[in-house]
């Protein structure tokens, strides 16, 4: 990257913005703290960008737009190909930043970067999807065809829990389609996005095609209000997703806003008990439950409930909690002390509301890391749909188990929930699984697959309160989101062969 342009004197450890290919200081005097959740120590400061910063980033995007959209799609794809190679060579470095700022284990962070890289691989082939349609002779001597063109300057606002993967769902697709991009990552985990921008610049991306700003509501509101931004992709919690969708649409932008989740896993009596319990433990407690596709509610059908609870308890007790970069650790800390306390308060509420606390993670301590934001694995049985621990997204290592009698009960329960991101079923019966996939009102369904995150050549998105907008993220729906069609009807008449008329033209 190029040298920092000093606009105003600020602390050395404050992360800069990346605008127009330069590392620049924010115009804002407000900063936030970036904390290592494993130690509780402040490791960096992050600027809280203001409207002037957003304006500078959008201007850089606008300046770069003409040249980038005019660059042949294959040449754009070649830059993305180089970015892919650099990313593959830097997986561990990016993963270390993620683990340091988010807290997840290194192995989990590596996996998340690799899932993001799949979208970059997909983006290399996007020229194929930018082809339009052509009909010859729709009228006498008249041809009709469509073009798929970039929408302009796009913006992405991303959550803390996937510092590289979620940004990679957005900007490689937008940029491959010929757009320019302003990324506003979560202020809690800003460094991975800066590394991605650095690698993309090294790959030959022209200045201004990708810009990174940091900040909170002030920056987001400036993005939503900016008339120069054509499309807005958001991933985060449901209340903010709804706000972004409504306000963005009011301001004339196309918006896709992905929200929170409460993902159910249904376990039928014929399921393979060990396989299912292992899958649920990984999906419930991986990344300390801070995944939008985490399984947070287990729905046990019939007699499998007792043996399943016993297995889950034993496996949850065996999970080792500690700093994400330590060998042998299965689960890292939560993102902040405030969030850890919030998750704890849900465990308190579950107990008060009468759920059976099978495994309590509240008294978890990690020697030598007393100031880290740790919480142990927690398991509740006998949970009912009326309880807060069932209704709310907890976003922590808390698995709740509900007991039902039939598959119909399970489907009704899921279809009554306000969220509909992902769900899974565990069974050996093909017909049961087929009925489930047909009747369940959820965007992503796993059959004996606990976290059914689609591959990059499909698209990611939930239903109901888990997604506001029409198009899912990445894959062919991502290409549709970041392009708009133009339909051309044309003829090349020999002079004098077509008479002009005032009537509505027909064939």
Which residues are identified as catalytic? 292
Residues 271 to 310 in contact with ligand NAD, rule: CB under 6 A: 292
Q: Does 237 bind ligand NAD (CB under 6 A)?
A: yes
Report the Cα 250 to chain-centroid distance in Å: 23
In this complex, which beta carbon is closest to ligand NAD, that of residue 117 or of residue 258? 258
Q: What minimum distance in Å lies between the beta carbon of 189 and ligand NAD?
A: 8
Report which secondary-structure segment, H or E, holds 102.
Answer: helix 91-102
Closest by alpha carbon to 412, among 301, 488, 270? 301
Task: Give the C-alpha separation, 421 to 470, whole Å.
Answer: 14
Q: What minimum distance in Å lies between the beta carbon of 468 and ligand NAD?
A: 10
Stretch that binds ligand NAD, among 118-126, 160-168, 306-314, 370-378 (CB under 6 A): 160-168
| Structure token digits, residue 427 | 């069974």
Q: Is there a contact between 383 and 390 (Cβ–Cβ < 8 Å)?
A: yes
Task: Give the C-alpha separation, 468 to 488, whole Å.
Answer: 31
Euclidean distance between the first and final Cα of the chain, in Å? 58
Beta strands 263-267 and 295-301: pairing type? Answer: parallel
Alpha helices, H only, 251-336: 273-285, 305-317
Q: Does 27 bind ligand NAD (CB under 6 A)?
A: no
Task: Give the C-alpha separation, 186 to 14, whole Å.
Answer: 15
Q: Does 161 bind ligand NAD (CB under 6 A)?
A: yes
Residues 442 to 461 in contact with ligand NAD, rule: CB under 6 A: none
Q: Does 268 bind ligand NAD (CB under 6 A)?
A: no
Q: Does 258 bind ligand NAD (CB under 6 A)?
A: yes
Strand partners, 398: 378
Q: What minimum distance in Å lies between the beta carbon of 444 and ligand NAD?
A: 9
334 Cβ partners below 8 Å, 6+ apart?
A: 37, 103, 288, 290, 340, 343, 373, 374, 375, 396
Q: Does 217 bind ligand NAD (CB under 6 A)?
A: yes
348 Cβ partners below 8 Å, 6+ apart?
A: none
| Structure token digits, residue 424 | 């899974």
| Structure token digits, residue 281 | 């433990």
One of 395, 426, 436, 468 touching ligand NAD (CB under 6 A)? 395
In this complex, which beta carbon is closest to ligand NAD, that of residue 210 or of residue 308? 210
In this complex, which beta carbon is closest to ligand NAD, that of residue 358 or of residue 451? 451
DSSP structural state of residue 208:
T
Stretch that binds ligand NAD, among 12-20, 76-84, 86-94, 230-238 (CB under 6 A): 230-238
Report the Cα 29 to chain-centroid distance in Å: 29
In this complex, which beta carbon is closest to ligand NAD, that of residue 120 or of residue 300? 120
In this complex, which beta carbon is closest to ligand NAD, that of residue 153 or of residue 240? 240
Q: Does 391 bind ligand NAD (CB under 6 A)?
A: no
Q: Does 261 bind ligand NAD (CB under 6 A)?
A: yes
Q: What minimum distance in Å lies between the beta carbon of 34 and ligand NAD?
A: 13
How many residues of this chain bind ligand NAD (CB under 6 A)? Answer: 27
Strand partners, 478: none
Q: Does 159 bind ligand NAD (CB under 6 A)?
A: yes
Q: What minimum distance in Å lies between the beta carbon of 294 and ligand NAD?
A: 8
Q: Is there a contact between 447 and 462 (Cβ–Cβ < 8 Å)?
A: no
In this complex, which beta carbon is closest to ligand NAD, that of residue 261 or of residue 379? 261
Stretch that binds ligand NAD, among 27-35, 97-105, 181-189, 371-379 (CB under 6 A): 181-189
Tokens 């709310």: give the residue. Answer: 392
Report which secondary-structure segment, H or E, holds 143.
Answer: strand 142-150
In this complex, which beta carbon is closest to ligand NAD, that of residue 161 or of residue 427? 161
Stretch that binds ligand NAD, among 86-94, 215-223, 263-271, 430-438 (CB under 6 A): 215-223
Which residues would be at the binding site for ligand NAD (CB under 6 A)? 157-162, 166, 184, 186-187, 216-217, 220, 235-237, 240, 258-261, 292, 393, 395, 421, 462, 466
């Amino acid at each position: 990257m190029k040298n920092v342009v000093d606009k105003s004197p600020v602390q050395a450890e404050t992360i800069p913005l990346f605008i127009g290919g330069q590392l620049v200081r924010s115009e804002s005097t407000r900063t936030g703290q970036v904390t290592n959740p494993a130690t509780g120590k402040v490791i960096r400061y992050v600027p809280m960008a203001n409207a002037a910063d957003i304006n500078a980033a959008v201007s850089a995007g606008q300046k770069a737009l003409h040249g980038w959209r005019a660059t042949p799609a294959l040449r754009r794809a070649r830059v993305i190909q180089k970015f892919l190679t650099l990313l593959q060579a830097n997986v561990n470095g990016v993963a270390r930043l993620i683990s340091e700022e988010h807290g997840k284990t290194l192995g989990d962070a590596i996996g998340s970067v690799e899932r993001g890289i799949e979208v970059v691989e997909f983006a290399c082939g996007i020229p194929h999807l930018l082809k339009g349609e052509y009909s010859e002779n729709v009228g006498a001597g008249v041809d009709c065809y469509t073009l798929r063109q970039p929408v302009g300057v796009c913006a992405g606002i991303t959550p803390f829990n996937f510092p590289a993967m979620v940004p990679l769902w957005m900007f490689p697709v937008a940029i491959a389609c010929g757009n320019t991009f302003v990324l506003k990552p979560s202020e809690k985990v800003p460094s991975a996005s800066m590394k991605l921008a650095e690698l993309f610049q090294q790959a030959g991306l022209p200045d201004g095609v990708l810009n990174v700003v940091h900040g909170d509501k002030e920056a987001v509101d400036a993005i939503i209000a900016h008339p120069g931004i054509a499309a807005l992709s958001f991933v985060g919690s449901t209340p903010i997703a709804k706000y972004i969708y409504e306000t963005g649409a009011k301001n004339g932008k196309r918006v896709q806003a992905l929200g929170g989740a409460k993902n159910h896993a249904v376990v039928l009596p014929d399921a393979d008990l060990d396989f299912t319990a292992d899958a649920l433990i990984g999906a419930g407690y991986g990344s300390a439950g801070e995944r939008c596709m985490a399984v947070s509610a287990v729905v046990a059908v019939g007699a499998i409930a007792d043996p399943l609870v016993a297995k889950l308890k034993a496996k949850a007790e065996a999970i080792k909690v500690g700093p994400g970069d330590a060998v042998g650790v299965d689960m890292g800390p939560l993102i902040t002390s405030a969030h850890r306390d919030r998750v704890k308060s849900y465990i308190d509420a579950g107990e008060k509301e009468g759920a059976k606390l099978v495994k309590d993670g509240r008294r978890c301590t990690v020697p030598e890391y007393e100031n880290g934001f740790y919480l142990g694995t927690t398991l509740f049985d006998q949970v009912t749909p009326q309880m807060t621990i069932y209704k709310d997204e907890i976003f922590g290592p808390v698995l709740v188990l509900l007991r039902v009698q039939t598959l119909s009960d399970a489907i009704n329960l899921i279809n009554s929930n306000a969220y509909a991101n992902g769900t899974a079923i565990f069974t050996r019966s093909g017909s049961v699984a087929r009925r489930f996939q047909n009747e369940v009102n959820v965007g992503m369904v796993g059959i004996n697959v606990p976290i059914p995150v689609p591959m990059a050549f499909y698209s990611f998105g939930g239903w109901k309160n888990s997604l506001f907008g029409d198009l899912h993220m990445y894959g062919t729906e991502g290409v549709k989101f970041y392009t708009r069609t133009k339909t051309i009807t044309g003829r090349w008449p020999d002079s004098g062969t077509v008479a002009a008329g005032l009537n509505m033209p027909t064939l």
